[in-house]
Amino acid sequence: MNKNAKERILSAADELFGTVGFDAATTREIAEKSGVNKALIHYHFQSKQGLLTELLDRYYSKLGGKLAKALTQDGDIKTRLLSLIDVYIEFLVENRNFGRIVQREAAGGAHMERIAGHMAPIFSMGIQTLKDVYPKTQQGEAAAEHLLISFYGAIISYFTYGELISQLLGDDPMSDESIVRRKQHLKWMASTLLDSVEGEAP
């Protein structure tokens, strides 16, 4: 079944915002790529800004739900925390334009505040979980805030800089094998760090 007009517009905008950027993409190009009249974009989204807003809201709704489910699933807390890496990477694999769109906007785009609004509850949940379970992360060099920022950067930069990484390593970082290796490496790092902060705070 063909996507309806609204979904085609969102799909076209997602691709163009991801490849050429929000500022460079035009509603005319989005209309042509989605096979609709440009007036339909304004009917459904009012403006190009409104189109990106809906894309971001959909992305973060999906991502937030997946991360919350992983964190509240059965199993010990370490297993659940490590599963967040799998879930986040799988989300980025399935939504290749997400990282590029967010990177551009987070670097000072008009939607930076909206992105921060979506990410803040996710970060707050992660920080509080770490502090509750691992008292050593309440402050100092192992502070939960910095641990989360470090792993957020380690995960998403692999996707936003995929083309550069390919040139640096001479390999396809997005191949199935490379993704598996990346997951294994990040989970090893996370496991090592979590082991180091077990026990009561000093």
Name the token pair of 92: 């980025």
Give just the sign of the alpha carbon dihedral 74, 190, 90, 115: positive
**Residue whose tokens read 């180091």:** 196
Regions of the chain where pLDDT drops below 50: 1-2
Residue 167 confidence (pLDDT): 93
- Asked if 111 and 56 touch (Cβ cutoff 8 Å), the reply is yes
Residue 14 confidence (pLDDT): 94
**CA 63, 66, 72: angle at the middle one, nearest 5?**
135
Residue 3 confidence (pLDDT): 65
pTM, full prediction: 0.87
Question: For residue 191, what are the contacts with CB-CB under 8 A and spacing of at least 6?
Answer: 78, 82
- Asked if 12 and 30 touch (Cβ cutoff 8 Å), the reply is yes
Distance CA 57, CA 63 (A): 10
Can you say how many angstroms the Cα of residue 6 is from the centroid of all Cα atoms in its chain? 23
Residue 202 confidence (pLDDT): 62
Can you say how many angstroms the Cα of residue 178 is from the centroid of all Cα atoms in its chain? 18
3-state secondary structure of 172: coil
Nearest alpha carbon to residue 44 among 20, 11, 16, 1: 11
Nearest alpha carbon to residue 157 among 106, 115, 84: 106
Give one word for 5, left, alpha or beta, with left for phi > 0 and alpha for psi -120 to 50: alpha
Alpha-carbon distance values, 164 to 51, 108, 123, 169 (Å):
29, 22, 28, 9
